[in-house]
Amino acid sequence: MNSSLEETLLSAIRTIPDYPKPGVMFRDITTLLGNARAFRRAVDELVHPWAGAKIDKIAGIEARGFILGGAIAHQMSAGFVPIRKKGKLPHDTVRVAYSLEYGLDEMEMHKDAIAPGEKVILIDDLIATGGTAEAAVKLLTQMGAQIEAACFVIDLPDLGGRARLEALGVEVRTLIGFEGD
């Protein structure tokens, strides 16, 4: 990645120490989303590897993945699929349970959101331990999606999420990394 892009993105991301608990450095992209230049550059960089490719759907993980995913779907002339927490979607759903550090949670999507064989890119703002992204990959795979990649603005490589997804055979693309988080 060129240093100009990295500088643009890094300067647009707010870091909040000790949130949501002591010792955590929270990487807040709401400031990036509010910066037109940085938001556009992030979306363009996430779209670029698939320019000219036929991608059927962009799947975004609640909630910041919706914002990024909607913009990317628009750029790629692809449909958008929301992946949400249990109980938030109004029609027939499929769901998967996944582990959090404090217990279990579930995410779901509409049963008719993906047709078998559709090419899908998964989007979220950040990959840390990879538990949520792994659950989303399993949900999409269960529906017959062909996952082309999982894309994130931020990677926290020390937490192992990228490796977790790559172990599932999913290509991972990130724009910037924060070591030691």
Active site residues: 64, 101
CA-to-CA distance for 125 and 153, rounded, in angstroms? 5
CA-to-CA distance for 152 and 143, rounded, in angstroms? 22
| Cis peptide bond upstream of 42, omega within 30 | no
